[in-house]
Structure 1
């Protein structure tokens, strides 16, 4: 399948997701009292980690090397974090923003993977990778428990958005309808998990 040109809406969604994830990475470094260089590093690896792994796996040019705006957004977010007190970013607001970035990024990853000829199910996996891997790298580097080790509905929300994006694309529905709905559906699940502490059942040895 020929590579499709992604729409400007998807490009803006990409930058928004990068900015939100970069902020979460920079704030972790800030809370540890790290230098601006460390904050910038955390912002970059968190913002581009998932998309980088996706692009390498699907054989696409690595998006942030092709687009100078991406690294600039990460550096700008690090500057904002450096100049503001961390208490400004505490509470559930950042969690909700992260949830929106997570599900939007999952849709982006799925759509881009399918545009490169990746079959539907692997494309869904690539959507989840796009949404989650940056946070996983951030947690590993910071020595924190990974999001994969928490029972809360996080990866599940990314999976829902990716699955709906794939289903809409497979069914031939207009992308300007499918993408926002898939993003909002996953975000609604993530927001409910934040608000009411929803989690998947944990394994119990029998």
Structure 2
């Protein structure tokens, strides 16, 4: 990894590392070796939740605890982190094993979102809470500023479906991956949602398993109705 490349990444983060080794570890996938970013990812996940919670608490004084939790959940999920990773061009910086490289690991949402959290963890270890609070706020402020409260506060289709079934005294739906098509960096997942007690089967698709499950749940909700 060239110093120039890391300089670019630090510029996009808005933070310059004193210990560049921490940043190098943050962009090292477990397939590269034992000295990887998994522990930093664990730390970064907690920091992300804390800082975003603080941002929401200050900005949305009219929301209650449940609404704030739901909003935070929608903001710190894989989709949001994947978008941030792409904005940082993080994929081009990742260090990973040969096998992961061949499968286009640098473009996988799960790997990129984990790496973002690892970078957050590294930033905290290097500069403390003030530094990571600044970085996360810088990256998330445009996202939170564009929040449509009604959209973000609305329960996702999987949660809504499960709660509706629970209200009817039924078991949760069962999801299975039916098919995965396309190359690793642009896959389409097809998922089947089954509700045996109501003889309901629906299918959905999306760029990730989670997205496909939500799509299938949305269709199942329409069938379940009131």
Instruction: Please give the range of the TM-score, normalised by the shorter of the 2 chains.
Output: 0.3 to 0.5
Give the structure with higher Rg (CA): 2
Structure showing the higher helix proportion among its residues: 1
TM-score by structure 2 length? 0.31
Q: Which has the higher contact order (CA 8 A, sep 6+)?
A: 1
TM-score, normalising length from structure 1? 0.33
Which protein has the bigger strand share? 2
